[in-house]
Every structure is written in structure tokens, then in C-alpha cells.
Amino acid sequence: MSMMPSKLVAAVRDLRYLLDRGYPRTSAVRFVANHYGLGLDERHLLARCVFSKGEIEIHRAKAVGMEEVRGKRLGIDGYNVLITIEGLLSGRKVIRCDDGFLRDLSAIFGKYRTSGTTRAALVELLRTVRKAGPGEVALIFDKQVSRSGELSAMAREEMGRLGLAGDARTAADVDRRVRGFDVVASSDRAIIERSRAVWDIPAAVARGRSAAIVDLRKV
């Protein structure tokens, strides 16, 4: 997706226009997507990656870099972060969205299955966290997703191997739990808006490596 289809570019611009004027997100996305006859992936892009100027300001004001994580309590939205890093490593299309956060459009968590890239992505995630030096880290996976317990155990194993102090566990209310930390790692819009500080771990992983990232901000 080095070049976006012209109708998708037009849809992105139209949606921005509507959001900037206060139109409700859900109905605006549906209206624009239907108007241009967009497919499912393109609809996901509109819903997850296009923001009003006001939303962008709020999200960017909460974004912190690696240096601001040191010594802090870090809560990681497990599937959200891991799936995006898997996308980076496997060459899937990852989008740098209007608010600057990286998002993987294939992130349908309820249907997630581990793959040959999962452990490598988990190691990249944890190595990046170790470099940041948080005072406490919790990697939290949605327990309603199949085999989350096994993934948590894999994460604890890798944390031990890397000498990273912290915990990996499952929970039914990941959103609420991660929001209780000093810094949250997630690209979920609802979590960002309810958190004090947010770190984009996939962006830190992507820095300095070749990855299939489409920058929507240039549209």
C-alpha cells in the first residue's frame, strides 16, 4: 500500500472534515464508507486511524517517549501492543495514524491465534520495555481470547530470561486495569482518552528498522 487508492484518500479527507465539525464518529464513518463503497479493511482504517484535530491534540498531549517511562508503573494492553509488533515483524500493513500512533488493522483480538512470529514479537516488546526501565511492569491479556493463559506464561518465561522484573497475566477488564498505571502502552482510542500518559511501544520497536508503515498524516 505504497499508494492509497484515490477513493480512500477522498474518504479520509471527508471523514476528517466531518469529525472536525463535531459529527458523531460511528455515523460519520458509516456515511463516508458507504458513500465511497469501501471494503472492510478500508472501513477499519477510517474507524481506527482518522481523527479530528481536537482528538489529535488530546492524544499527542498524552504521548510520552521511552525516557519518560523510567521508574514509572507501566501497564501494557497485551494484545493491542503485541499484534501491532507482530505486524511490523511479518510485513503486514501497519498505519501511522492521524494522532501519530501505530495501529495494525488486522487486530481482531477475539480471533487472535499465536503464530511463528509471536515469540519474536514478544521478545522485541519486552526488550524495548527493559530499555525504558520502568519501576513496575504488567503485561495484561484479555482472558476471553483463546489461550491467553498460555501467552501470559510465555511472556513470564521471556521476562525471566531477559531479567525483566514484572508480571504477565490475564484479565476480563484489560481497559480498566491498564488505566490504573502511571504510563499505559496501548493504541486503543478509549484507553488513550482515559489515561494520563501513553507510550507507543510499537513505534519504539519500529524505529531504526525497515517496516511496511503507511503514514496517514501525509494524506
* 216: pLDDT strictly greater than 90: yes
Q: What is the arithmetic mean of pLDDT over 98-110?
A: 82
- pLDDT interval class at 113 (50, 70, 90): confident
- pLDDT interval class at 137 (50, 70, 90): very high
Question: For residue 91, what pLDDT is reported?
Answer: 86
pLDDT tens column, 158-188: 999 999 999 999 999 999 999 999 999 999 9
Question: For residue 169, what pLDDT is reported?
Answer: 97
Three cell numbers written together for 154: 510465555
Question: What residues form DSSP beta bridges with 184?
Answer: 75, 198
Residues 148/142, Cβ–Cβ less than 8 Å: yes
Residues 140/78, Cβ–Cβ less than 8 Å: yes
* 114: pLDDT strictly greater than 90: no
* 58: pLDDT strictly greater than 70: yes
Question: For residue 1, what pLDDT is reported?
Answer: 42
The dihedral formed by the CA atoms of 117, 121, 124 and 127, expressed in degrees to the nearest 10: -120
| Strands (E) located in the chain | 63-64, 73-77, 94-96, 102-104, 136-142, 167-171, 183-185, 198-199, 213-215
Question: For residue 109, what pLDDT is reported?
Answer: 55
Higher pLDDT, 155 or 210: 155
Q: What is the arithmetic mean of pLDDT over 93-114?
A: 83
